[in-house]
Amino acid sequence: MTTRCAWAVGPLLTAYHDQEWGTPVTDDAAAFERLSLEAFQSGLSWLTILRKRAAFRAAFAGFDPAVVAHFDEYDEQRLLADARIVRNRAKISATISNARAVVALSATGGPGSLVRILYDAAPSDHVRPANAALVPSSTPESVLLAKRLKRLGFSFVGPTTAYAAMQATRVVNDHTADCAFG
């Protein structure tokens, strides 16, 4: 029997854990999707977001920042009416404005700018947690990352959301020490 992080329970969470969570990303679209979904997860269970992920991808044009950056008021209203996704006005507006921030970064910093910002936040001394109780919800690095993202025009990205994105993209490896996937 394979040992996994304690939260990887049930087929959907197990598949996400085994195949995606903590896997490095190399392009801004993948980083934008992770950051967006972590923001939508705020206040909800991750399982809820995973169950709606296909609908999120369809509603947000595959999380292509260049496409989402051109969403307008009509698109925002369409998204607010889409029962397949989380219909939170602040989170929807933030996703659209964050796409614009990703595009602006790419225009000034070259391809992969969001990816670089995420990986620049990596702590030099991170140690895999011994157990789930030792996994933090934020760190000094995620606080700095959230502040940097906000200065660059991102919204709905606080330290906890920033840290969750860092975990999802393996900026930090928070697979517990006994997890076979670490």
- Selected catalytic residue, list 33, 38, 141, 163: 38
Q: Which of 16, 21, 33, 163 is catalytic?
A: 16
Per the annotation, the verdict on 46 as an active-site residue is yes
Q: Is 16 tagged catalytic? A: yes
Q: What is the DSSP string of the chain?
A: -----TT--SHHHHHHHHHTTT----SHHHHHHHHHHHHHHTTS-HHHHHHHHHHHHHHTGGG-HHHHTT--HHHHHHHHT-TTS---HHHHHHHHHHHHHHHHHHHHH-TTHHHHHHHHT--TT----SSGGG--S--HHHHHHHHHHHHTT--S--HHHHHHHHHHTTSS--S-TT-TT-
Could you say which of 7, 20, 46, 76 is catalytic? 46
Q: Which residues are catalytic?
A: 16, 38, 46
